[in-house]
Amino acid sequence: MAQVRKSPEVHDVLIVGSGAAGGMAAWNLTRKGIKVLMLDAGEKFNRGGFWSHVKPWETQKKLDSGQKPPQFFVDNNEQPYHSDPYFYLVRVWGRGGRTNVWGRVALRYGDLDFAAAAHDGWEIDWPIRYKDISPYYDQVEQLIGVCGGNDDQDSLPGSKFHLPPPAPRCGERLLQRAAKSVGISVVSQRKAVVTKEHNGHGPCHYCGACGKGCDVGAFFNSSDYLLEPAFKTGNLRLIDNAVVGRLLVGPDGLANGVQYFDRKTGQEHQVLAKRVIVGAACVDSTRILLNSKSDKYPNGIGNSSDVIGRYLCEQTRFHMYGFAPELMGTRTLNDDGLGGEHIYLPRFNHRGPKRDYLRGFGSQFWNIGAQPGLASWAKQLPGYGAGLKQNIKRHFPALLAMHPYGEVLPYKDNRVVVDPKKTDRYGLPIAKIEYQIRDNEKKMLGDMYDMAEQVMRAAKAEMLPFERGSVDVAGSAIHEHGTVRMGRDAKRSALNGYCQMHDVKNVFVVDGAAFTTASEKNPTLTILALSWRATDYLAEQIRKGEV
Amino acid sequence: MGMSDRRDALKGLAGLTVLPALAQQHQHAEPTPAAAAKPTAKFFSTAEVQTLGDWVELILPRTDTPGARDANVHYAIDALCHRQPAAGKDWRATFGWLTKQKGAPGEVLARIGTETGTPGAAHFKRLRDSTIEQYYATREGLQTELGWNANTYVAEFKGCTHKEHQ
């Protein structure tokens, strides 16, 4: 067995993961003069090699000639997990993590979210309120650039720092109008895309291919927006291909470093640090913490409450499609825009009559208008021959789409565990995900379907068939939260409101795992704000010599 | 947020290193079309691919724009079968079934295109679905037929400009 390579240097702060959470932590600490070592499980993605401008008809030819797009996503054969029932886990190992290809939706949580449990009594309350985090939302939006409207409401706090929103597409205008006619408000989407030059980042050129990575860095990604400035301080050192296995614990019960394995060679390393920040994304962070067993922490570091791994929450989601009659047969426009939707339907079910379920839902609208990838709906049109061809062309500019997202409550037995019987290539237990939606989510789905159908019908859409109650496979929203949740009570939560472990004061968990609830919203903006807030707190603690 | 924190935030913003003017550097030259190499059969025989071309052309024919044969959909299906053994197995069965039917291909499609729950209906579905998938991923299908001309540089996104939709 190869000898473990141990580095004698003791780092001020060690950060695991380079995505939104870890990247923000590194950016904030290094600019304050704190030396940071970051471990990332992959490498920097070469922006020049992104396939953002490879046309659909060129893709296969390039593949046939042996070319490959960037391999953003972790191959589950390399780092397996298992789940029962199936949970779709998307991981990006490499600088910037999932922010290289994220959906860019940047919604603020409000007190409807933070105080949800205080209101309805389901599980524990967030230890923070909007007033605690709103200054950080302000700062994050100014730093990274978020476009959006001036159309906030109680379920969607606004911002005076939004960059100009993009104009809606035709189909989006029609759905906005239709929703309004049935009393539902649809606002400008808020996205971390710079619609005008911002802090040195050039503006979006509306090619619509954000999911392949942005070749000009016009949307927030942790690598360009956080890590590169952090490197320039001279205070950040980053080790690529460092797959973290465990946190190490000293005799005082504090973390004193990390064990990691070189992804290329398998070589085991140990590095030492005075403080450790975990931001490897919810499931991987949880796996690392649960595998960090010791005499002091027999069920994982910081887990005296036995909540780590539990309360995994994601979101329910489905899709409804139709065609706008007044757009059928019109001239095909370039509907790319930002990539994804320009409008958003905020939660509204807290108003009006009491529902027979808790929490709420919103809706997104991507893929509206003339978009490639039409085969999925075109196959549903009848017939063949010239008539079919003409019919597809007539429908092409007219596609309407709704994608509602509903909150999934935190349940104790929706969880991530580590399975000692199944190990990865480094000999460490892999993650097992046990997750299912329950009655509350199923009742909410009924309302979600009613809402989507009501809006589509108000738009007089020619509907594509849908099956009421069907829902995307768990994990599809790629918004895992809650497995290292924050709370006021150390017996029922792992972290305090600053993402600091109750049990182990020099460990912070700053990704979605720290969330107390999921809400119906996309979490990245809140992850960034929480990580900034946590590292402000940490820096102050360091200054005072308290951690 | 305390004042020191606020100062930190502002200092950080001011200190954020300005990246090069990426948008100005960025160019979107249309990629040079690959030499129009004539596709070759990889899974089916050359004669079989030509026959397959007759079938896909019936699904999406040449009108005032190119049809499925013009777009080499038959070769795209052949290449798919070459890459994916499972698709090859399915398509071998479909091709064999179609070519054994009595009557001209147009007559066969007219018959099985209205069936449900029969082997013919399943083979028709495979032929139709595959033709649609492949055709609308080609330049002929997506750009020439549908007028899609996106995934390109746009200085300003104007969105919907129809007066009646405002």
Model pLDDT for residues A56-69, shown as the tens digit of each residue: 999 988 998 999 99
Which of B1, B59, B138 lies closest to A384 in CB terms? B59
Return the SS3 of A507: strand
Residue A56 near chain B (CB below 8 Å): yes
CA A74 from centroid of its chain's CA atoms: 16
CA A380 to chain B, closest CA, distance in angstroms equals 9
* Residues A175, A403: Cα–Cα separation, whole Å: 13
Model pLDDT for residues A396-425, shown as the tens digit of each residue: 999 999 999 999 999 999 999 998 999 999
ipTM, two decimals: 0.90
User: Closest by alpha carbon to A236, among A15, A69, A31, A35?
Assistant: A35
Q: Which residue has the tokens 């020049």?
A: A48
The secondary element (H helix, E strand) that includes residue A258 is strand A255-262
Model pLDDT for residues A307-326, shown as the tens digit of each residue: 999 999 999 999 999 999 99
Return the SS3 of B64: coil
Return the SS3 of A421: strand
Interface of A with B in 121-140 (CB under 8 A): 135-136, 139
Q: What are phi and psi of A327, to 5 degrees?
A: -100, -10
pTM of model > 0.90: yes
Residue A387 near chain B (CB below 8 Å): no
Model pLDDT for residues A466-498, shown as the tens digit of each residue: 999 999 999 999 999 999 999 999 999 999 999
* Residues A292, A276: Cα–Cα separation, whole Å: 13
Please, are residues A19 and A222 in contact by the beta-carbon 8 Å criterion? Answer: yes
Residue B116 near chain A (CB below 8 Å): no
Please, are residues A483 and A250 in contact by the beta-carbon 8 Å criterion? Answer: no
Q: At what angle do helices B46-59 and B105-112 cross, to 10 degrees?
A: 50
* Residues A359, A443: Cα–Cα separation, whole Å: 11
* Residues B2, A537: Cα–Cα separation, whole Å: 11
Average pLDDT over chain A, rounded to an integer: 97
Please, are residues A434 and A419 in contact by the beta-carbon 8 Å criterion? Answer: no
CA A440 from centroid of its chain's CA atoms: 23
Model pLDDT for residues A188-245, shown as the tens digit of each residue: 999 999 999 999 999 999 999 999 999 999 999 999 999 999 999 999 999 999 999 9
Residue B32 near chain A (CB below 8 Å): no
- Which of B66-92 are b and which e, b meaning 16 or more Cβ less than 10 Å from the residue's Cβ? bbbbbbbbbbbbbbbbeeeeebbebbe
Please, are residues A495 and A103 in contact by the beta-carbon 8 Å criterion? Answer: no
Closest residue in B to A63 (Cα) is B83
Between chains, do A224 and B159 touch, taking CB under 8 Å as contact? no
Which of chain A's residues have a Cβ under 8 Å away from the Cβ of B136?
372, 374-375, 378, 392
* Residues A307, A493: Cα–Cα separation, whole Å: 6
Angle at A463 between CA A465 and CA A330, to 5 degrees: 135
Model pLDDT for residues B81-115, shown as the tens digit of each residue: 999 999 999 999 999 999 999 999 999 999 999 99
Which of B19, B132, B145 lies closest to A393 in CB terms? B145
